[in-house]
Structure 1
Amino acid sequence: METSPQPPVEAPTIAFHHRVIVASVLAVFTIIGLFGNTLVIFSVITTKKLRTVTNILVVNLAFADNLACSFLPFQIAGLLSQTGRYPIPEIICAIVAGVGFTSVCCSASTLVAIGFVRWYVITRSIRGHQGLNTPKNIAKVVLIIWTVSLALMNIPPALGVGTFGYYRYYGLCTLSDSNPLAYVNILFQGTVIITAIVLTLTFYGLILRHVLQHNKQFRDKFADDKATGSSSAEAQKNMASPSTSQDSRSPMIKAINQKEIEITKNVFIVVCLFMICFVGSSVNFVIPGASLATVYGYMILMANSVVNPIIYGLKHPNFQEAFKRILCRRRRPLERVSN
């Protein structure tokens, strides 16, 4: 007795409504990221105040994030596919995966470079173009960043350690599940990103420690000068008004404390957003097995390409001024046409 052929069993995939949620968020990221990063690049090009050595790295960061955002629509196409295949030729999916990994690595490396340059300039009290802080040297750093990022993210798949392609379960262009060495590649990439996180946090921690120590020395010197330089005068004044000395000194101490609070707050914001975007997704990627959290982890990772213009743009007064000037200049012609 012949048995009827069994229908092929379909491979499991993430529920479509989860894909729609992630695709919708990525669409928003695409619009905001392209707008914000392009605004940062255009601001540096058109504003003389922003043509600094450090902003060469900021532009490189914005360019890498723009590249990541510009390829998100191709990821959205894969997420919304219900056929189990990538709706565009799969070579495009492989390119999207390669560009995505490269841009993320470049973004992380650029953040490390920005932290290093800020630490170098602040701790050595450098003003102007000195030492490493020259356009030529920073341009070399940018070239090294892109070369290393391309090598680290693309050479392993080219050697067979993982394969770029369409991961059907997630609906994403990433490392294909058909290659048994894909997990080795994921571990390697996770190590690279976590190393970038540690280095970035180290440089910002060194900056914070240096500033706090500098402020403490200034505070101590101010107190010593007040105690030795005007001890006799203060004694006479305190006889008449004991609170005069304390009142004259308190505004300076309060100003220093406020400065420490603002520095701590800004570094804390940078650290927290960096940790949220990279650590959460990286830890999830190195855990064996497929899970729903991975696709949401990818969404969080891509949020880094959106928040960077906010951290390095909107928190900077010169960028704020440039943003207002550019946006207002575009708005005025539209108002004239409407009138």
Structure 2
Amino acid sequence: MEASTKSPVEAPTIAFLHRVIVASVLAVLTIVGLFGNALVIFSVITTKKLRTVTNMLVVNLAFADILTCFSLAFQIAGLLSQTGRYPIPEFICAIVAGVTATSVCCSVSNLVAIGFVRWYVITRSIRGHQGLNTPRNIAKVVLIIWMESIALMIIPPALGVGTFGYYRYYGLCSLSETNPLAFVNFIFQGAVIITALILTLVFYGLILRHVLQHNKQFRDKFADDKATGSSSAEAQKKNASSSTSQDSSQPMIKAINQKEIEITKNVFIVVCIFMICFVAQGVNSIDTGAGLSTLYGVMIMMANSVVNPIIYGLKHPNFQEAFKSILCRRHRPLERVSN
């Protein structure tokens, strides 16, 4: 990442073919991401049943991802430039780099916050607006996320640690290679991403452990109740009900096991997609050597802004119904979407 002494035209860059490939993928991500995240926001606004406290974070996540997707159009312009310069005034590239950094940080922080809130609600058996799970408190969380994201974008460059601009080697609006301390900022960004990854893994792991323990306790209690009922003095009077209970025990146990499997799958999908999209770029940010892996790592990281509506939208039954209602233009009130 050392600054080149050659003129912009002669400065080395990644092969144009690879930049075209990445630009083409980003173009698709831009269209799909803008549509998907806008659909999530519109669904929450127009569907009464989706106006929940947790969905405040989902909307905030979708808004951050929209900013990321919107900035991709300007990144494509830089990728396709063959002059060694950004084709639009470079101060726009600096703004795009700052907005991208802020929105990506906000998106990552939102994923951590959603994991934390879900852990808090599930492990404490919160029902309704209690404790942290109130609109005012979640609004404070959203405000803190944006303040943190903006601060992490502004403070390092203000201290001279990195400068936003056009990175000629990659053809991206990012931290410019002309600043000798840019690598420090890259390492810092990588540390933030990896820390967020670890926290997300921890919260979803705690959720999974809690659910498995809860289901184990339920099975143990069911077994104890069954043993107690069979040895009680009133066993003869309850032969019919005991027989019914025994007949239904296997389906109940099967249903519990199936629930564990489904929860495990959902958590596994969330964690794996998060890891795929962010861990590569997190490692690349710490290993500051320039190469194709960094360029494609950025592309994969940006893809997270597209898959989030799938993870937090299409996997949710209420969002599925709302999406169908909007896309199919059904003439029934969306407020009737059931839980």
What is the TM-score when the length of structure 1 is the normalising length? 0.91
Matched, 1:316 2:316: yes
**Whole-Å Cα distance in 2 between the matches of residues 66 and 102 of structure 1?**
12
Q: 1:1-339 alignment to 2 at 5 Å?
A: 10-231=10-231, 247-329=247-329
Tell me which residue corresponds to 1:239.
none
Contact between 1:277 and 1:300, CA under 8 Å: does it hold in 2?
A: yes
**Whole-Å Cα distance in 1 between the matches of residues 295 and 157 of structure 2?**
21
Unmatched 5+ residue regions in structure 1?
Answer: 1-5, 237-242, 332-339
Comparing 117-126 with 282-291, greater Cα deviation is found at 282-291
Contact between 1:215 and 1:256, CA under 8 Å: does it hold in 2?
A: yes
Amino acid across the alignment from 2:112? V
Contact between 1:234 and 1:245, CA under 8 Å: does it hold in 2?
A: no
Contact between 1:90 and 1:166, CA under 8 Å: does it hold in 2?
A: yes
Comparing 286-295 with 218-227, greater Cα deviation is found at 286-295
Contact between 1:116 and 1:203, CA under 8 Å: does it hold in 2?
A: yes
Amino acid across the alignment from 1:196? A
Shift of 1:247: 4.7
Kindly tell me the number of residue pairs found equivalent between the two proteins: 321
> Sequence identity of aligned pairs in percent?
85
What is the TM-score when the length of structure 2 is the normalising length? 0.91
3-state DSSP class of the match of 2:101? helix
- More RCO (CA 8 Å, sep 6+): 2
**Whole-Å Cα distance in 2 between the matches of residues 103 and 330 of structure 1?**
34
3-state DSSP class of the match of 1:174? strand
Amino acid across the alignment from 2:28? V
3-state DSSP class of the match of 1:329? coil
- Which portions of structure 1, spanning 4 or more consecutive aligned residues, are displaced by more than 4 angstroms? 6-9, 232-236, 243-247
Amino acid across the alignment from 2:296? Y
Q: Which has the larger radius of gyration?
A: 1
Shift of 1:231: 3.7
Shift of 1:153: 1.9
**Whole-Å Cα distance in 2 between the matches of residues 126 and 109 of structure 1?**
22
3-state DSSP class of the match of 1:251? helix
Tell me which residue corresponds to 1:335.
none
Shift of 1:234: 12
**Whole-Å Cα distance in 1 between the matches of residues 14 and 142 of structure 2?**
38
Amino acid across the alignment from 2:18? H
Amino acid across the alignment from 1:107? S
Shift of 1:172: 0.3
3-state DSSP class of the match of 1:288? coil
Contact between 1:29 and 1:69, CA under 8 Å: does it hold in 2?
A: yes
Amino acid across the alignment from 1:311? I
Shift of 1:248: 3.7
Unmatched 5+ residue regions in structure 2?
Answer: 1-5, 237-242, 332-339
**Whole-Å Cα distance in 2 between the matches of residues 182 and 281 of structure 1?**
16
Tell me which residue corresponds to 1:240.
none
Q: How much is the aligned-residue C-alpha RMSD, in angstroms? A: 2.2
Shift of 1:330: 8.0
Shift of 1:193: 1.1
Contact between 2:23 and 2:76, CA under 8 Å: does it hold in 1?
A: yes
**Whole-Å Cα distance in 1 between the matches of residues 7 and 108 of structure 2?**
46
**Whole-Å Cα distance in 1 between the matches of residues 330 and 194 of structure 2?**
41
**Whole-Å Cα distance in 2 between the matches of residues 110 and 195 of structure 1?**
13
